[in-house]
Amino acid sequence: MARAAFEDSWEDNKSFSRPTELLTADDRAQLSLWIGQKCHFELLYKISRDSCCSKKFHQLCDRKGPTVTILYNTDNSSYGGFLSQSWESSGCCIKDQHAFLFTLSYNGVRKPRKFPVTKPNQAAYAHNNLGPTFGEVESELLRGAGQQQNNAVSFLFKKTLMRIPIDLMTFKSKISPTRDTASGTHFFALNGRADFGSAYQRPTVNMNDINNGHMCIFDLEVYSVKATQQVSSSTLYDATIISKPWRQPPLWHEQNLQTLKDFVSNYKPLPDMEISEVNILLVGQINAGKSSFFNTLNSIFRGEISSRACAGTSTHSLTTALRKYKIRNREFGSYLNFRLCDTRGLEGENSMHYHDMQLLLDGYLTDQYKFNPMAHASQRDPGFVSHPSFQDKIHCVAFVVDASAIDVLHADVSKNLLYFRSLIVERGLPHVVYLTKLDKVCPLVDQDVRKIYYSEACKQALEIAADVIGIPRGHVFPVKNYEQETQLQTNVSILALTAMRQTLVFADDYLEDQYELQSDQ
């Protein structure tokens, strides 16, 4: 990009100001969703209109209550932060347990992600020589505040800025606009920095996938945020309902339910592989709904709500042992030809050992094997299979993902998920995602699960899950587990069976590949 300094007086050159508010209706709905209330957003400060000046920012935004700051960069990516406390010029940290950073779009494509504060005492930094700043700022960056910076001081500031961790510092002092001589457009090369993960949740992607690796923006806006009166969920989420489904939905009637049940009931593994059943491994973070998915499927074939697997909400995984569940079709009295393997939920320090992940996939751990978070599995352990057969191995993996928490995964959980996936890819295993708790993403789904395929919020959650796991979107299946229901519901059962049907198809693809490999040897 060819650049030339724009050095005339500000008042003579405000013609490039973007007079309209850049925050779209979808953005406002998304921010309201994250904040937890329907909100009214009023523009307080806009650098293309008011100048990129820290003193001007504080003049217009201090003591105005909750605010949201959005940066719009030259690559059409937008990101920023929410602060529920007022901005100040006090020269100290602002405490805020409700603050969060976020992205709204990347390269012009909507990519809403939320990164909650992890160190509330360092949520933001208030200083009259800094623009909106999220996270703590060390004193080294504030030396010479308010003074004219020569080249040597400016170089030292930039060098110090790159060395000191900070989540989002927009700019220091005053920034003049720059003109792109090729296009004639103007932008601001901010002297701040973005590196989420110090006082806020660390993203599962690097900063290049958030702000394109630079601080060149064409505008920055700060809005005051005022919660309006309580409204119904449907009013809050109307903006997320679209007229055309983002994926062809299943047929919502009893005939299709029976067709899906028949397919799953009659499934048999590829005869050439000479195994009686395939093993489907359920893996994911705690409280995602792994055990609940088994209970849901078991309920469908039992004909009533059941709860064989221990399920619920807990700080640590409720599943401590490997369970290879079989499902009986009560109608015919026979077992289905697959097992759902439920394992310990991925968490932080108490997560499954990497060595155990490998042993699990390769069939060395049998049903009822109890995981020890303090030590990895060994041949001396009860339930260890010294010479596993192909029947013992995992044939397909289903990542069970909580849609309401996918964009705020703990760094350790994300690391474990990605490592698990690397082991799966290494072995050529097919893998899918069961996306649960979509009723928390869009409450309209809680009223009618058929709205999943018309919900913009559910679509966005699916896209985020696909990006985080690194899987095609067509391999991500929305699921609603039986949780508060006391009777079976056709639409809930159809969702679960649709996901299970495709999982079995993928498992058979894997068996076909293995048979061809054996035949070629």
Do 114 and 170 fall within a single domain? yes
In a domain, 24, yes or no: yes
Do 416 and 449 fall within a single domain? yes
In a domain, 211, yes or no: yes
Do 54 and 190 fall within a single domain? yes
- The tally of CA atoms less than 13 A away on the side-chain side of residue 165 is 7
Going by C-alpha positions, the residue among 301, 289, 295 that lies closest to residue 401 is 289
Picking from 231, 266, 289, the residue at the C-terminal end of a domain is 231
Domain coverage including residue 112: 3-231
In a domain, 390, yes or no: yes
Do 308 and 209 fall within a single domain? no
Do 91 and 191 fall within a single domain? yes
Task: Answer yes or no: is pLDDT of 311 > 70.
Answer: no
Can you give the pLDDT at residue 495?
A: 98
Do 415 and 363 fall within a single domain? yes
Domain count, the chain: 2
Picking from 231, 265, 292, the residue at the C-terminal end of a domain is 231
Q: How far apart are CA 124 and CA 98, in angstroms?
A: 11
Query: pLDDT for 319-328, tens place per residue?
Result: 578 899 999 9
Do 83 and 218 fall within a single domain? yes
In a domain, 247, yes or no: no
Do 290 and 206 fall within a single domain? no
Do 173 and 303 fall within a single domain? no
Mean residue pLDDT of the chain comes to 85
**How confident is the model over 433-439, as a mean pLDDT?**
94
Do 54 and 157 fall within a single domain? yes
pLDDT band at residue 33 under the 50/70/90 scheme = confident
Going by C-alpha positions, the residue among 102, 116, 107, 68 that lies closest to residue 220 is 68
In a domain, 241, yes or no: no
Can you give the pLDDT at residue 347?
A: 67
In a domain, 245, yes or no: no
CATH of the domain at 412: 3.40.50.300
In a domain, 189, yes or no: yes
**Structure tokens that stand for 136 in this block:** 């703590």
**How confident is the model over 433-443, as a mean pLDDT?**
90
**How confident is the model over 147-152, as a mean pLDDT?**
44
Q: How far apart are CA 396 and CA 279, in angstroms?
A: 7
Task: Answer yes or no: is pLDDT of 518 > 90.
Answer: no
Do 221 and 345 fall within a single domain? no
The residues facing 377 across adjacent strands are none
Burial 371-381 (b: 16+ CB within 10 A, else e): bebeebbeeeb
Picking from 183, 200, 231, the residue at the C-terminal end of a domain is 231
Do 288 and 214 fall within a single domain? no
In a domain, 510, yes or no: yes
Q: Is the dihedral of CA 182, 187, 191, 193 positive or negative?
A: negative
Q: How far apart are CA 342 and CA 322, in angstroms?
A: 6
